A and B are shown apart, each in its own frame.
Chain A
């Protein structure tokens, strides 16, 4: 994945968006961040529907960072939709949520997420996590190119 391939962050909490943005910057993640604030927007973005139909403005993401407790469409529904989608079934999905529930963890992995992280309370730990993710996903991991729309 090149550094220009965007990361799609699906997060409804502005504070968490702030911490995430701050953490990616401090961690040195260069990939652009595309943010949608609910589950429905996430699927619309990936489908290129409505306001997201312009791929120049809303390019296909290389990784999805997904919260679970989302308005309109729950994060697990979004995950299921992605894995059942013909285009996006192979895209890496990282769950970043405040839920520590074993059921959520189990269901998320069964539906096909690649990693499940509980949001750390300490912003420094989030930075540390982002560094790890950057090294793993954007440096070492061999990913498929984003599907063309």
Chain B
């Protein structure tokens, strides 16, 4: 006996069975063989792998762009029907399709491009990518979350299928081997059998013999139904046929090749148990994928997700093979949860468990702890919180909290009366569904909160007597309250959006527009008054104040402002201002008249005084000889009194001039200024006094004439008020402190006691007897008035017998 080794599969055959095999081969119909191979190919599920055609970067990119474009076109076509609602719907479906058909990169591309397209074209404000409102934020988050979930699942599924493909490739190679081994049935690991038309088993290879042990028959015996009928049919129809058969715990795929001339059928079997199991897994994954996609899509696009939770969760429950689900929603007002949706529980039981406190039962515990609670073998559980579930006959139970932004929104739980446990994958699906439901609920609650807030604001604004308006970030008016409309007599905002400026008085329009535009540009609050044409065509003054608005993240959202009708007040104010102007003018005229009158009186008083003084002096000079000593004394007193009165009048005139004249300030260089005064006043030079200027004096802001008066009065006092036999010595200095120059006049005079220092700057304040020191008591009052009019101050430091220092503080000149 010779032994042969197959080069390809290294299977061995003996010369005996080879002869038999050769006989078999000699009788083999090669046309049938090609059909058998085709059937084997179809068995491998070539259709499943056709999506592999789409792989490849360029193809994925093309598909992604194509889907975005298609989504955009479809969404635009839907715009007349649904407006700006559901902006993401077509792009989400495109993402789902790409997740199914392409690699994840293409899906991500569609997701991003889809988001951009949806924002640019369908989400107000149009043609911008700004996330202008919380609802837009939530929509975006929901879209991305759903897409990412779909893409993740799609990618997992795709990888599973890739593995399947690799396995099937291996199977193809095995089929090649089978084809090869078809020539050597004895070495074929798969069953090969031959049956006659009446079902008698003519031949079985070793694998076949093992198989028929399941049927408890042997070669030469008749096979059972439905195989026997199938063999008869194949023979009668003379056509290749194939079918799957469950034999024991395995699934076989049989190809029946009829040989009508010979009156038998060759049966080629193949164990496809693993393949079927894998297909089952894939189907489950696909089902899960579709379920999640559908749930996400429905929750994302639904205006009322709370209402569709029942339907969606029932589907999930069926998919998981559960008997029950419970969906509780948290009610903050009662700090408890209320049953929102359920399945598999009688209405009576529903009523019993309608309300649940936080912490009560397993759902309450899940909400309290904000984490999933999973309970198996409830029948054996001694947990008191599982008592209710036990009464419902549950065996296993899984509850997931519905969480959004760290807040508990409710719970979602699934229970089974038959299953002991849930798989990891099933728990994962429950968690994902719970997340999706939470996102949808949060979105809808946020939107509702926003609507409520908006409603409250509008109700409040409409109830306000003030006219309130709002603009968008592009400076377009977007809303006016009822007060505005009733003021201008319009019905809808459309009437005012563009044409509001036409209602502003033409004289105020440009100013109004300019202030508004500038404030808008700088994003600064403003206040202004202008006239607006009321509904009865009367122009009314309104006070308008606007302020920029920003969202919580600080993004500028436009302006909000309010206006009030201040027409009466404005008219009254105008009237008042006119009256004030009129009265002020009258008052100024009166003051001027009074000043002129006072000045004239003072001036005219000097003429007779001068005459008194003049004639007195002439009399003294020319006729003193005719007067006695008393007469001469009287005459001297008359002359002195006239002189004093004249000095007094001159000082009063000076004070009056300083008090009422305009004193424009200019830069005065103190150094040269004071030195010029010292030169031009005879009393301050030569042998009458020694006046020293320390260092170089700075420049100040002052009025030259007034400062001359100040310096000459201070120096005059310093020279005058010295003890007898004391030579006047004066030291002038200055120091700069910040923007202030402090000018000082230190003398060696008689000094001033502390009590008198406060009143020496008042009018007619004399501290010394007139016979000792002449003076009118006005000189220092003139100094104080002049310094104050120049924005400075004057004060003295002195002690009797130790001289005085007069300080004059003035503004330093700006360099």
Contacts and interface: CB of A to CB of B under 8 A. Distances in A.
A73 interface: no
Given A121-B643, A121-B646, A123-B617, A98 B611 contact: no
B705 interface: yes
B603 A98 contact: yes
B657 A98 contact: no
Interface string B217-260: 00000000000000000000000000000000000000000000
Contacts of A22: 618
A22 B615 CA distance: 11
Contact of B613 (A98, A101, A102, A122): A122
Given A121-B610, A121-B614, A121-B643, A100 B705 contact: no
Nearest to B608: A15
B596 to A, nearest CB: 11
A127 to B, nearest CB: 11
A94 to B, nearest CB: 18
Interface band, chain A: 10 to 19
Contacts of B604: 69
Contact of A121 (B599, B613, B653): B613
A83 interface: no
Nearest to A12: B607
Which of B599, B603, B608, B610 gathers most chain A CB within 10 Å?
A: B610
B614 A19 contact: yes
Contact of A124 (B606, B608, B617): B617
Interface string B570-609: 0000000000000000000000000000010001101111
A101 B657 contact: yes
B657 A121 contact: no
Contacts of B717: none
B132 interface: no
B617 A98 contact: no
Contacts of B646: 121
A71 B172 CA distance: 138
Contacts of B657: 101-102
B284 to A, nearest CB: 110
B650 interface: yes
B617 A102 contact: no
A121 B607 CA distance: 9
A119 B650 CA distance: 13
Nearest to A23: B614
What DSSP secondary structure best describes chain B's contact surface? Answer: helix
B609 A121 contact: yes
Contacts of A100: 650, 653
A16 B611 CA distance: 7
Interface string A122-140: 1110100000000000000
A110 to B, nearest CB: 17
A121 B646 CA distance: 8
- The interface centre, meaning the residue of A13, A123, A124, A126 with most chain B CB atoms within 10 A of its CB, is A123
Contact of A69 (B603, B611, B615, B653): B603
A126 B610 CA distance: 11
Contacts of A69: 603-604
Which of B610, B614, B646 has the most A CB atoms < 10 Å from its CB? B614
Contacts of A123: 614, 617-618
Interface in A74-122: 98-102, 119, 121-122
A100 B657 CA distance: 10
Contacts of B643: 121
B285 to A, nearest CB: 106
A16 B653 CA distance: 21
Contacts of B610: 15-16, 98, 119, 121
Contacts of B705: 102
A102 B609 CA distance: 22
Given A101-B657, A102-B657, A102-B705, A122 B614 contact: yes
A23 B444 CA distance: 110
Contact of B607 (A13, A101, A102): A13
Contacts of A126: 614
A69 B657 CA distance: 18
A92 B610 CA distance: 26
B79 to A, nearest CB: 82
B607 A16 contact: yes
Interface string A5-19: 000000001011001
Contacts of B609: 121
A101 to B, nearest CB: 7
Given A69-B603, A98-B603, A121-B643, A15 B653 contact: no
A123 B610 CA distance: 9
Nearest to A124: B617
A142 to B, nearest CB: 29
Contacts of B653: 100
Contacts of B661: 102
Contacts of A102: 657, 661, 705
Nearest to B618: A123
A69 B601 CA distance: 12
A15 B607 CA distance: 8
Contacts of B614: 15, 19, 121-123, 126
A119 B609 CA distance: 12
B601 to A, nearest CB: 12
Contact of A99 (B603, B611, B618): B603
B117 to A, nearest CB: 81
Nearest to A123: B614
Contacts of B613: 121-122
Contacts of B618: 22, 123
A102 B642 CA distance: 24
Contacts of B650: 100
5 contacts: A13-B611, A15-B610, A19-B614, A98-B606, A122-B614
Given A15-B615, A19-B611, A98-B607, 14 more contacts: A13-B611, A15-B607, A16-B610, A22-B618, A98-B606, A98-B610, A100-B650, A101-B657, A102-B705, A121-B642, A121-B643, A122-B613, A122-B614, A124-B617
